[in-house]
Structure 1
Amino acid sequence: MTGRTPPLGDSQGLWRAVLAAASGRCQCRGTCGTNHERDGGRCKNTHGGYGSRHGTGPVRLLAAPADPAALLLPPHQVAALPKQALAAWCPACHDATRRAAAKARQAAAPPAEPNALF
């Protein structure tokens, strides 16, 4: 996939619409745990550009739920989300936000009760 070639599953143009709405730039505003203040409060990674770390190669943005909690939904539910519920994410911000959402969900879950056998 080059900077102009959409992913294989983008037959409806959803990925292109999300990228166009984001102007080809990652829409993370710090939910990944990184302070994006130097870049105007938004991640600086652009589709087809290069990551901030040495050797990361070109950045390929993906369309994923804008709500961090929705990043934990099963794939079939994510695929059913409307365009307005999606955002463009660089892989680094997407993965970090997903990990943070999983930790928050686990912390909010009540502790499992032990099985009472006796």
Structure 2
Amino acid sequence: MPPLAEAELWRAVMAAAAGRCQCRGTCGTSHDKDGGRCPAVHGTYQTKHGRGWVRLLAAPAEPAALLLPTHRAAALPKQQLAAWCEHCHQATRRAADQARQASAPAGEPDSLFDL
């Protein structure tokens, strides 16, 4: 079942992905047993990563773009979106956030008052 908003965009992304998560290891899992691509297929039951029905979402394809504010990510064209299962999406987003924090220059600590 597609999301309530932007159903046509979601369907286009899912069609391009053949209904399968498009993660190729950015989540930290090699997916080697599945030809290098996550095996999660929309609407199937998974026994890994929390068990339950797979519900793919359309989100930015580039890991760094997963950190965009929601309104900017929602404005991306379908060519810049990919199908993600919940596990791969969250793990890739965490990894992108950690990479961003690691590359950020060390700033002064936040404080309420100057001492």
Q: Normalising by the residue count of structure 1, what TM-score does the alignment of the two structures yield?
A: 0.89
One-letter amino acid of the counterpart of residue 94, structure 2: R
Of 5, 11, 19 in structure 2, the residue corresponding to residue 16 of structure 1 is 11
Question: What residue number does 1:87 align with?
Answer: 82
Question: What residue number does 1:33 align with?
Answer: 28
Matches within 5 A, 1:1-118: 5-11=1-7, 13-53=8-48, 56-113=51-108
Aligned length: 112
Q: 1:108 to 1:26 in 2, by over 3 A?
A: same
Shift of 1:19: 0.2
Alignment gaps of 5+ in structure 2: none
Contact kept? 2:60, 2:73, Cα under 8 Å: yes
One-letter amino acid of the counterpart of residue 105, structure 1: R
One-letter amino acid of the counterpart of residue 3, structure 2: P
- Provide runs of 4+ in structure 1 moved above 3 Å: none
SS in structure 2 of the partner of residue 64 of structure 1: strand
SS in structure 1 of the partner of residue 55 of structure 2: coil
Shift of 1:73: 0.2
Q: Normalising by the residue count of structure 2, what TM-score does the alignment of the two structures yield?
A: 0.91
Shift of 1:104: 0.1
Q: 1:27 to 1:73 in 2, by over 3 A?
A: same
**Deviations 1:86-109 (Å, cap 9, x if unpaired)?**
000000000000000000000000
Identity over aligned pairs, percent: 69
Distance 2:49 2:30 in 1: 19
Shift of 1:6: 1.3
Distance 2:100 2:37 in 1: 24
